[in-house]
């Protein structure tokens, strides 16, 4: 999605007064009027009035129907919560001028609408036209993942990481996919290693790298670096409960039950609703002879597993979106 700021930068350049000595013709009175109205529309976007901006831009289209205005109208409609109306405008802008920005905005809007098949089609074409765009590859990866095409999604996120090595987004998506494809697991691990080297202060980077090292080769003993990076993640972000939980799992697998209990105690303290942490903690307590505590953790686990009585209406039938 374009923010009003990006729209402002694009249109401010278009609306700028010519420098002295420029040979361009002076704008006609009607064009000056459109320019002034566009500045008003941008002001409405800047001040949180997207519906007013959209109404104003629509009145200008008969006088200046350009890709820039259609894209800006899409921004205004999207900011106002009118995603379907925004999609129509983004589509028109992309057909009028298939720039990277216009195609990205259209594809991103389709993702928000959960229209994953058309989003994939748009983003496939966008990547062909603009193969050096990392954000198009990220958006394409999201569309592919949402359709269950996991290996193609991994390839798209890997391409994005290679194009923009310092952008954390593709790495964090890859971090969630370490167990999806055994064949592509080494590709994920290699890129997460790059991410950790470039951004050593990223707790999530260390966490995902540890998990890719550990789970990327099912059945193999975890490398020593798994513990190193999990501990680093926990120290960088003391509230990262899943790092404590996975340390507890790792210690349990290595029969280091007292260390496992300590890590899992932190996990449930940070995230009391993590059912599996309570279950694992109960097992660690049993292994260390603390049956009373083990029983309490099992009760907490069972309580979290028990479905709560629903006081909300039933979900709508298939095909009827929830608002």
We report the CATH number of the domain holding residue 90 as 1.25.40
Q: 233 and 141, same structural domain?
A: yes
Sign of the four-CA dihedral 46, 140, 70, 84: negative
**Residue 318 confidence (pLDDT):** 34
Q: Which domain holds residue 275?
A: 240-306
Q: 252 and 233, same structural domain?
A: no
**Residue 179 confidence (pLDDT):** 82
Asked whether residue 134 is assigned to any structural domain, the reply reads yes
Q: 160 and 181, same structural domain?
A: yes
Whole-number Å distance between alpha carbons of 247 and 250: 5
What are the angstrom distances between the C-alpha of 12 and each of 36, 98, 267? 11, 21, 50
Q: 139 and 85, same structural domain?
A: no
Whole-structure pTM value:
0.79
Which whole number is the average pLDDT over 202-221? 89
Which whole number is the average pLDDT over 240-257? 97
CB-CB neighbours of 33 under 10 Å = 13
Q: 232 and 132, same structural domain?
A: yes
Whether residue 323 has pLDDT greater than 50? no
CB-CB neighbours of 303 under 10 Å = 10
We report the CATH number of the domain holding residue 269 as 1.25.40.10
Residue 59: its H or E element: helix 50-60
Total domains in the fold of the chain: 3
Q: Do the Cβ atoms of 266 and 243 come closer than 8 Å? A: no
Q: Do the Cβ atoms of 67 and 93 come closer than 8 Å? A: yes
Question: What percent of the chain stands above pLDDT 70?
Answer: 85
**Residue 309 confidence (pLDDT):** 52
Q: 138 and 161, same structural domain?
A: yes
């Amino acid at each position: 999605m374009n923010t009003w700021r990006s729209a402002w930068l694009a249109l401010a350049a278009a609306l700028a007064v010519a420098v002295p000595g420029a040979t361009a013709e002076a704008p006609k009175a009607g064009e000056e009027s459109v320019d002034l109205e566009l500045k008003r529309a941008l002001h409405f976007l800047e001040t949180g009035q997207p519906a007013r901006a959209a109404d104003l831009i629509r009145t200008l289209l008969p006088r200046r129907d350009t890709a820039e205005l259609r894209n800006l109208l899409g921004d205004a409609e999207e900011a106002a919560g009118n995603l379907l109306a925004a999609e129509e405008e983004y589509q028109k802008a992309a057909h009028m001028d298939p720039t990277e920005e216009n195609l990205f905005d259209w594809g991103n809007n389709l993702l928000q609408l959960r229209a994953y098949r058309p989003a994939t089609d748009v983003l496939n074409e966008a990547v062909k036209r603009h193969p050096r765009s990392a954000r198009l590859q990220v958006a394409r990866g999201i569309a592919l993942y949402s359709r269950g095409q996991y290996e193609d999604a991994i390839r798209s996120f890997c391409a994005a990481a290679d194009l923009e090595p310092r952008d954390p987004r593709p790495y964090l998506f890859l971090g969630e996919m370490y167990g999806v494809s055994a064949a592509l697991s080494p590709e994920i691990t290699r890129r997460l290693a790059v991410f950790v080297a470039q951004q050593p202060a990223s707790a999530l980077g260390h966490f995902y790298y540890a998990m890719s090292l550990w789970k990327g080769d099912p059945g193999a003993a975890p490398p020593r670096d798994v513990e190193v990076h999990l501990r680093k993640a926990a120290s960088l972000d003391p509230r990262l409960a899943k790092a404590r939980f996975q340390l507890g799992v790792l210690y349990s697998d290595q029969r280091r039950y007292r260390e496992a209990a300590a890590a899992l105690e932190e996990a449930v303290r940070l995230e009391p609703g993590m059912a599996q942490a309570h279950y694992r903690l109960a097992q660690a307590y049993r292994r260390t002879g603390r049956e009373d505590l083990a029983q309490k953790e099992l009760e907490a686990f069972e309580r979290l597993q028990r479905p709560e009585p629903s006081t909300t209406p039933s979900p709508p039938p298939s095909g009827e979106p929830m608002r």
